[in-house]
Structure 1
Amino acid sequence: MKHIAVIGGGIVGISCALALQSDRHEVTVLEPGPIGEGASWASCGCLAVGEIVPLSQPKMLMQVPGWLMDPEAPLAVRPTSFLGLLPWFTRFTLNSFPHKMRAIAADLATLTFQATDDFKALAADIGHPEVLVERPILKVFDDDKDKATMGAAFDLAREMGCTIDEVSGQEAKNMEPAIAGDFQHAAILRDWSYVTDPVQLVKRLTEAFLARGGTVKSAAVADFSRDGSVVRSVRSTDGEDIFADEIVIAAGTGSKMLARKLGIRLPVEGLAGYSTLLPESGVDLKHTVFYPKGGFGITPYQDALAVAGTAEFMNLDAKPNWRRAEVLVNHARRVLPGLNTTNSERRMGRRPFTPDTRPVIGRSARLANVMFATGHGQLGLTLSATTGRLVAAEIAGRAPHVAIEAFHPDRFSRRQNYSPHGAH
């Protein structure tokens, strides 16, 4: 048995902690924020099995100049943050070539195609299988031109094995009578599903972790104590030294700063996502419905509809632009004409993105006892249970159920002597 410190108590961190507990390790989680209020709380709550085509699509990149001038665009870049993000964007753009996009999609598919089974096993293990609703999701399109914007992405996703059925707008309305009747086209994404409430999900996972003897410390990390390539302890912001045999960094966007303290450069930037909960929506919805043109989705959580989406690149210390959440709700009426938007609750979460859209899972060659589990972008909830299994297997010395070479933390820097086929 080892003592393991997991830094980050969001959906990925707590999933790692539970997987490590299953191997009979003593686990301490450090989480400075409220439980359940990380990146996933402002999400659509989907297990996005087919979300494998990277954001660095040529058509998307061509729109970036216009987005800089439009604060209400589905994807925006804060002008005040653009220069600081330019090195990241340069790497991001270099991943827009077709062969690179196909390679990224193939790598992500190896993870996402395991996600549903891994998540169901985790939910059953904590005694809450009902948190997952296994229904496909809908994407709706105004007309032929609108539908064509998703054509290349659908083709690539199908090539990788995703199941996407293209139907008429009327067929979509037959499935969901509440949606507007003038959509010409729709798509049914059969591989997807959604959770009843991402906040309650994280809380239930945390409760199970605590009930099994785990410790959650409400503190951030101030520094690390090292002995060469071995990290001996984690010093929290309240001055306590937490000694650990292994350390897992699963702190989302905060992982960038923590890695830097350990001499590792991770190009992780925060892509802000906004969400509005509508507890009195007045709409009966059974499936998650995405409107790609508006950059958002609508999910029927247990006690409210969640209108979530839009993406904003900005500095990690930048304040939310709540106007973006308001725009989402206004546009949601295009999809659900009968939507009641009173008594709403706004949320914002920072999704940790890498320039190649792949998460960071594994050890750096420069650190003997540190695992990274971060950079999941829009797939944090989707890949949480799968990442937990992979982290636990690596620490136990077991063969992983998914190859993780493509997600190695050293892939970003030649100076770190990364060899994807070498020993970690």
Structure 2
Amino acid sequence: MAKVAIVGGGIVGISCALALQAEGHQVTVLEPNTVGEGASWASCGCIAVGEVVPLSQPGMMMKVPGWLLDSEAPLSLRPSSALKLLPWFARFTANARPSKMRAIAADLARLTFSATADFKAQLGDIGHPEMLVERPIIKLFDDDTDKATMGAAFDLARELGCTIDEISGHEAHELDPAIAPDFKHAALLRDWSFVTDPKRLVEALHQTFLTRGGIVKRAGAAGFDREGRQVRSVKLTDGAELSVDQVVLAAGARSKGLARDLGVPIRLEGVAGYSTALSDPGVELKHTIFYPKGGFGVTPYDGALAVAGTIEFASLDAEPNWNRADVLVRRAHRVLPGLKTEAAERRIGYRPFTPDTRPIIGRSDRLDNVHFATGHGQLGLTLAATTARLVADDMAGRRRHIDIQAFSPDRFS
């Protein structure tokens, strides 16, 4: 039995904690913030199987320059962060080549195609299978031009094994009558599903972990004590020190600084996503709806509709730009004309994005007992259970069910 520290108690960290606890390890989770209010809290809550085409796809790259100058665009950049992000954006742009995109998509497909089975196994283990709604999501398009922006991405996703049915906007309205009837095109992504509430999910995972004897410390990691290739202890933000045999770095957007302290330079930036939970929406929705042109999705959680999206590059310590959440809610009336927005709770979460859209999973050649589980971008909820399985297999010395070489933390060196 090893003493394992999980740095980060979000959806990925707590999933790793449960998987390693099941192996018989003594596991301590370090989480300084409110449980369940991380990146997944401000998301659409989807298990996005087949969301494999990287952000650097050509259609998006052509729009980025204009978007960056528009504070209400689906992707924006705070001017104060521009200089710091230049190296990240240089690598991001380099991944827009078709050969790079195809390789990234194939790597992500290997992970996401395991996601539903791994996630269902996790929910079954904690006794909450009802938290997953296995229902396709709907993407909506105003006209032919709007639909064409997703054409190459859909073609590549289908080539890799995704099931996408193209339907008319009227058929989408018939599936979910709250949807405006005047969209010309729509698509059903049949491999996807969504959760009933991401915050309650993370809370349930934590409660199961605690019930089984796990420890959660309300502190973060402030540094590490090393002896050669081994981390011997984690220094905590409350001044304490935790001796360890193994470490899992799952600190999301704050993983970059901690990795630097460990001598492993990773390329990762925290990207703000915004969400608004509408507890009295005035409409009923059965499916998660995405409106790519507006840069948002709408998910029917238990007790609320969540309008979530946007990508904003900003310092992790910057004040939230709540106008970005408000813009999404205003745009949501295009999709749901009967939407009521008076009872609203705004949320923000920072997603850890790598320039190649691949997560960071596995060990660095520089360290023997540190396992990386970060950089999942918009796929943290999707890949949490799969990442946990990979980390547990690696720590046990078992053969992994997925080749993770493409996700190595050393690929940025």
Structure 2, unaligned runs of 5 or more = none
Which residue identity lines up with residue 145 of structure 2 in the other structure?
A: K
Q: Corresponding residue for 1:281?
A: 281
Which residue identity lines up with residue 97 of structure 2 in the other structure?
A: F
Contact 2:133-2:194 within 8 A present in 1 as well: yes
**Within the alignment, does 1:55 sit opposite 2:20 as a pair?**
no
**Within the alignment, does 1:335 sit opposite 2:335 as a pair?**
yes
Query: What is the CA distance between 1:333 and its match in structure 2?
Result: 0.4
Percent identity between matched residues is 69
1:347-362 alignment to 2 at 5 Å?
347-362=347-362
Contact 2:68-2:75 within 8 A present in 1 as well: no
**Within the alignment, does 1:181 sit opposite 2:181 as a pair?**
yes
Structure 1, unaligned runs of 5 or more = 414-424
Q: Corresponding residue for 2:410?
A: 410
Which residue identity lines up with residue 274 of structure 2 in the other structure?
A: Y
CA distance in 2, matches of 1:182, 1:102: 34
**Within the alignment, does 1:133 sit opposite 2:142 as a pair?**
no
Contact 1:269-1:316 within 8 A present in 2 as well: no
Moved more, 296-305 or 59-68: 59-68
* SS across alignment from 2:113: helix
CA distance in 2, matches of 1:66, 1:387: 35
Query: What is the CA distance between 1:59 and its match in structure 2?
Result: 2.0
Which residue identity lines up with residue 75 of structure 1 in the other structure?
A: L
Which residue identity lines up with residue 370 of structure 1 in the other structure?
A: V
Which residue identity lines up with residue 345 of structure 1 in the other structure?
A: E
CA distance in 1, matches of 2:141, 2:58: 20
Q: Corresponding residue for 2:105?
A: 105
Normalised by the size of structure 1, how large is the TM-score? 0.97
Query: What is the CA distance between 1:237 and its match in structure 2?
Result: 1.2
Contact 1:40-1:349 within 8 A present in 2 as well: yes
CA distance in 1, matches of 2:119, 2:82: 36
Q: Corresponding residue for 1:198?
A: 198
Q: Corresponding residue for 2:33?
A: 33
CA distance in 2, matches of 1:68, 1:360: 26
Which residue identity lines up with residue 210 of structure 2 in the other structure?
A: L
Which residue identity lines up with residue 340 of structure 2 in the other structure?
A: N
**CA deviation vs aligned residue, 1:107-157 (integer Å, no higher than 9, x gap):** 000000000000000000000000000000000110101100100110011
Query: What is the CA distance between 1:315 and its match in structure 2?
Result: 2.4
Superposition CA RMSD, Å: 0.7
**CA deviation vs aligned residue, 1:73-104 (integer Å, no higher than 9, x gap):** 11112222111101100000000000000000
CA distance in 1, matches of 2:410, 2:285: 44
1:42-121 alignment to 2 at 5 Å?
42-121=42-121
Q: Corresponding residue for 1:156?
A: 156
* SS across alignment from 1:63: helix
Query: What is the CA distance between 1:318 and its match in structure 2?
Result: 2.1
CA distance in 2, matches of 1:25, 1:124: 21
CA distance in 1, matches of 2:194, 2:171: 21
Which residue identity lines up with residue 197 of structure 1 in the other structure?
A: D
**Within the alignment, does 1:318 sit opposite 2:318 as a pair?**
yes
1:377-416 alignment to 2 at 5 Å?
377-413=377-413
Query: What is the CA distance between 1:379 and its match in structure 2?
Result: 0.2
Q: Corresponding residue for 1:257?
A: 257
CA distance in 2, matches of 1:95, 1:318: 28
* SS across alignment from 1:248: strand
CA distance in 2, matches of 1:141, 1:165: 14
Q: Corresponding residue for 1:420?
A: none
CA distance in 2, matches of 1:104, 1:65: 23
Contact 2:119-2:386 within 8 A present in 1 as well: yes
CA distance in 2, matches of 1:152, 1:286: 28
CA distance in 1, matches of 2:91, 2:315: 17
**CA deviation vs aligned residue, 1:27-49 (integer Å, no higher than 9, x gap):** 00000000001100000000001
Query: What is the CA distance between 1:337 and its match in structure 2?
Result: 0.3
Which residue identity lines up with residue 66 of structure 1 in the other structure?
A: G
Contact 1:68-1:79 within 8 A present in 2 as well: no
CA distance in 1, matches of 2:154, 2:320: 32
Contact 2:299-2:307 within 8 A present in 1 as well: yes
* SS across alignment from 1:401: coil
CA distance in 2, matches of 1:399, 1:234: 28
Which residue identity lines up with residue 72 of structure 1 in the other structure?
A: E
CA distance in 2, matches of 1:103, 1:222: 36
Q: How many pairs were matched up?
A: 413
Contact 1:132-1:195 within 8 A present in 2 as well: yes
Which residue identity lines up with residue 252 of structure 1 in the other structure?
A: G
Which residue identity lines up with residue 128 of structure 2 in the other structure?
A: H
CA distance in 2, matches of 1:73, 1:209: 40
Which residue identity lines up with residue 373 of structure 1 in the other structure?
A: A
Moved over 6 A (4+): none
Q: Corresponding residue for 2:239?
A: 239
CA distance in 2, matches of 1:223, 1:358: 26
CA distance in 1, matches of 2:175, 2:348: 30
Which residue identity lines up with residue 45 of structure 2 in the other structure?
A: G
CA distance in 2, matches of 1:128, 1:217: 25
* SS across alignment from 1:286: coil
Contact 2:254-2:270 within 8 A present in 1 as well: no
Normalised by the size of structure 2, how large is the TM-score? 0.99
CA distance in 2, matches of 1:161, 1:68: 33
